[in-house]
């Protein structure tokens, strides 16, 4: 199971929100590149980079942060937040992302996303399923839809999406443990999916539980910034499970 540290960006700075609430914002570092370099030095190979300004304004805003991290580390980066046009996708790839993360567009404009999948290749995209009570939430979690997470995953796995991360909004940023029951149900229904857990990870025990149920990756954010899990412990976990 891969450990994927998260960097969320507002105004070019490394921040975290609680439950996607922009009014509950904590700034952890002025220089995201320095944070990314620490992750790389700890032996981590991937990075989940989120443009929260982009998510709110519905257009990619913090691509310069992506560009700097991609140019100065060897981390494989997935980038999301504000990707709403083919030009946005191109900008993200030109700036050094390995994968473009899409969520809201998959709900709001399926036809447009299908064009991107055909143009760039479905393997270049990571689907983000943000969930409130098993229903998909979009636009930085500010809007909850009536779409079941299971229908959503099934729809896009049939279109060639292989990699998906799921965030239970009720858990995110609260350090209360991940939604293992929900994730287990998803994995039972979609056993071939490259499934990445996101939200709520607060300890190494959480990571071992996610590995046990079959998660292929886990995104870890606040637990690192709040020193609940050290980078040394993450490095050791990665060595133990791989």
The pair of three-digit structure tokens given for residue 184, joined into one six-digit string: 């287990």
In the set 51, 53, 78, 130, the catalytic residue is 130
C-alpha gyration radius of the chain: 16
DSSP state of 11: T
Residue 130 annotated in active site = yes
Q: What is the DSSP letter of 177?
A: -
Return the residue matching tokens 């220089």: 31
C-alpha 221/C-alpha 219 separation (Å) is: 7
Q: Which of 8, 78, 88, 172 is catalytic?
A: 8
Q: 165: Cβ–Cβ under 8 A, 6 or more apart, which residues?
A: 48, 101, 126, 127, 128, 129, 195, 196, 197, 198, 217, 219
Instruction: Tell the burial category of 4 from Cβ atoms under 10 Å away from its Cβ (0-12, 13-18, 19+).
Output: buried
205 is catalytic: no
H or E element at residue 130:
strand 125-132
Six-digit token string for 177: 């443990």
CA distance 200 to 16: 13
Measured distance CA(44)–CA(48) in Å, rounded: 11
Active site residues: 8, 130
């Amino acid at each position: 199971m891969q450990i994927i540290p998260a960097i969320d960006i507002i105004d070019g700075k490394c921040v975290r929100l609680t439950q996607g609430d922009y009014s509950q914002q904590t700034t952890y570092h002025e220089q995201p590149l320095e944070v990314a370099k620490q992750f790389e030095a700890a032996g981590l190979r991937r990075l989940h980079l989120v443009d929260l300004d982009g998510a709110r304004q519905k257009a990619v805003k913090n691509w310069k942060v992506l560009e700097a991290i991609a140019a100065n580390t060897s981390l494989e980066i997935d980038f999301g937040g504000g990707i709403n046009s083919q030009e946005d996708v191109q900008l993200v790839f030109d700036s050094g992302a390995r994968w473009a993360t899409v969520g809201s567009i998959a709900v709001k404009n399926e036809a447009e996303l299908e064009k991107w999948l055909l143009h760039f290749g479905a393997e270049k995209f990571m689907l983000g399923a943000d969930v409130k009570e098993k229903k998909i939430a979009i636009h930085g979690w500010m809007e909850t839809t009536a779409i079941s997470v299971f229908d959503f995953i099934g729809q896009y796995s049939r279109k060639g999406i292989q990699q998906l991360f799921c965030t239970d909004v009720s858990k995110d940023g609260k350090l209360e443990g991940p939604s293992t029951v929900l994730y287990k149900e998803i994995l039972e229904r979609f056993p071939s999916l490259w499934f990445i857990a996101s939200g709520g990870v607060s300890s190494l025990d959480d990571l071992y539980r996610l590995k046990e149920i079959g998660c292929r990756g886990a995104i870890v954010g606040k637990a690192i910034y709040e020193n609940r899990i050290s980078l040394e412990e993450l490095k050791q976990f990665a060595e133990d499970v791989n």
